[in-house]
Structure 1
Amino acid sequence: MEQKSFKRKSELIEAALDEFTAKTYENASLNVILKNAGISKGTFYYHFQDKQAFYVFLLESAHKTECKFINSHERIEDFKGKDIFERFKLQVQIAYEFAIAFPKYFKLCIMFRKERGNEIYEYAKNIIERNKEAWLEEKIKKAIKDGDFNNRFSEDFIIKIVNHMVFNLNEIFDEEEDYKMEKMRENASNLADFLKYGFGNRELCY
């Protein structure tokens, strides 16, 4: 969702990131956020419907900032001649660099993953992943045309399987170790290899 700019908006976002990355959604206090940001409840509710809407706004901001970062760091020469699986690995590396550059956004996403099973998780996930799924579907369709996937699988089957595995990876890897940056990077890279050699037109060689 797009929000109009207002005085101390950046302070509000910083205060919110501090609160939501230190506590669960339920325990995070909107009053503490507003106090630390130095804005009134009137100003807040003029721009945001409630705490839930603001939380989703923060998650969307993290996603948009990450996408912008990835797009600005992608180099055509690095992607040239690579299939969708290898390009995904390169994007994972850039996402890793994003996590270092924007640690609070990265931690917010980690805290959000830990909300799985709570009402806020399902609500926010449905909103946030809608745009992500459309973006990924476009990439998959192009990869299918480029011959990156084995043609014995239908387009619909490939899209559903890849979408499910990418967006539900945290339901497979949900141990405390899996939330560490390096482990997340490793799991994502392994997923790319699994999809490539499970669906791709190449044999896995040792």
Structure 2
Amino acid sequence: MNKVEKVQLVLDTLQELYPKPTIPLDSRDSYTHLIAVLLSAQCTDARVNTVTPTLFKRADRPQKMVKLAVEEIRQIIRPCGLAPRKSQAIWGLSRILLDEHGGEVPVDMEALERLPGVGHKTAQVVMAQNFGVPTFPVDTHIHRLIHRWGLSNGKNVEQTEKDCKRLFPEYRWNDLHLQIIYFGREYCPARGHHPAQCPLCSKIGRKSLFTA
């Protein structure tokens, strides 16, 4: 099977399994979604969703967030991990949104990436899921699956992102990001993976998956 055929199989399979993928993080608007995505770094979406209701009850707008002490934010978000760094980032980006963006989340990749705690992937997720801008955020999970399927050389997430944008049609990027994440959780986990039973690896998986 050549690469074009592999890509089509991935698209067809994921669309059949997850025709309308939902955003896994609970939020009310672009600001609360930005905070939730920031908290999800090295933390499960499920855990984030148990923490954000308490945080957003105290502060669901940057105007309210900057009135909280960083220590108070840290205590609330502690279950998400990396709380000292994340609490500083949440307070800091809220201050910048007020000072430089009228209290609103900017619809601009470069402006988002300049915010504390907001890296390239987080900015892409916000642009895609809040503003509908086609992006292809690649985390370690998507990176792993794309490599397993032989669609990228797997050197780094930056290269995988470039390969994904080159291989997949732009109109599918935003849904495909979520579809691959859901597929990885259900069929293609990092550990305990059985390639012969995986709907995609069994058909297009690298040979090394079956010889390890």
User: TM-score, normalised on structure 1?
Assistant: 0.26
Q: Name the structure, 1 or 2, with higher relative contact order (CA <8 Å, separation 6+).
A: 1
Q: Which structure has the highest helix share of the two?
A: 1
